[in-house]
A and B are shown apart, each in its own frame.
Chain A
Amino acid sequence: DTGVSQDPRHKITKRGQNVTFRCDPISEHNRLYWYRQTLGQGPEFLTYFQNEAQLEKSRLLSDRFSAERPKGSFSTLEIQRTEQGDSAMYLCASSLEGNTIYFGEGSWLTVV
């Protein structure tokens, strides 16, 4: 499969724990994005990388959230000291320059 892949697909964690999600974009896509989606809402933009540079972060991304893309390929999204309000699906997407954005299957996070 050559699409965007995300891992894990599902994560249940206790409040206060840290979680990390990984995203492998479509190869050769230089742009990588993270979005968050809650039930009944469309995805909301979190952050965006062009190659290894993080070019924009949404105000939704509090200090507990950090994203990296160290070699310009895969990316990680870490949430520290999780809260119940962090429960959502975290979507990764990639594109080549300004072309169509392709989404991964998402990582469901449930904070209990």
Chain B
Amino acid sequence: EDKVVQSPLSLVVHEGDTVTLNCSYEVTNFRSLLWYKQEKKAPTFLFMLTSSGIEKKSGRLSSILDKKELFSILNITATQTGDSAIYLCAVPLNSGGSNYKLTFGKGTLLTVNP
């Protein structure tokens, strides 16, 4: 059965800390992996990863994919209170190259305290 598992499910840190969020997957016909940030409303897109070992970076956030070990990590450096959110990992299933049918993990709830 296709599945996406995120860990930890929740994490509390202090401002300035660096965090690493994990996402492992077991899917057939893997094409890509996506990360979203959700703050009490709709998920907002962060990254889409398709190739192993190539880091994607946006400000203090970065992500990398390991297709051999079937996981991805999302790093956030110098965390700020505004980073508090649920971080969702998603993989399209049986998509035949199309990203429409996303299967999400349960998410990691990150709380950054001042």
Contact = CB atoms under 8 A, between A and B. Distances in A.
Contacts of B101: 45, 48, 56
A89 to B, nearest CB: 9
A35 B38 CA distance: 14
Majority SS of interface residues in chain A? Answer: loop
B106 interface: yes
B104 A101 contact: no
B100 A48 contact: yes
Contacts of B41: 105-106
Nearest to A100: B45
Contacts of B100: 31, 33, 48, 56, 95, 98, 101
Interface residues of B, number: 23
B7 to A, nearest CB: 13
B99 interface: yes
Interface in B23-75: 34, 36, 41-45, 48
Given A103-B42, A103-B44, A42 B104 contact: yes
B21 interface: no
Interface in A70-92: 91
Contacts of B95: 98
Contacts of A62: none
16 contacts: A4-B42, A42-B90, A42-B104, A42-B105, A43-B43, A43-B88, A43-B104, A44-B104, A45-B103, A98-B98, A98-B100, A101-B102, A103-B42, A105-B42, A106-B41, A106-B42
In the A-B complex, the 9 residue pairs with the smallest Cβ-Cβ separation, listed nearest first, are A42-B104, A103-B42, A98-B98, A105-B41, A105-B42, A103-B43, A48-B100, A98-B99, A45-B101
Interface of A: 4, 31, 33, 35, 40-45, 48, 56, 91, 95, 97-106
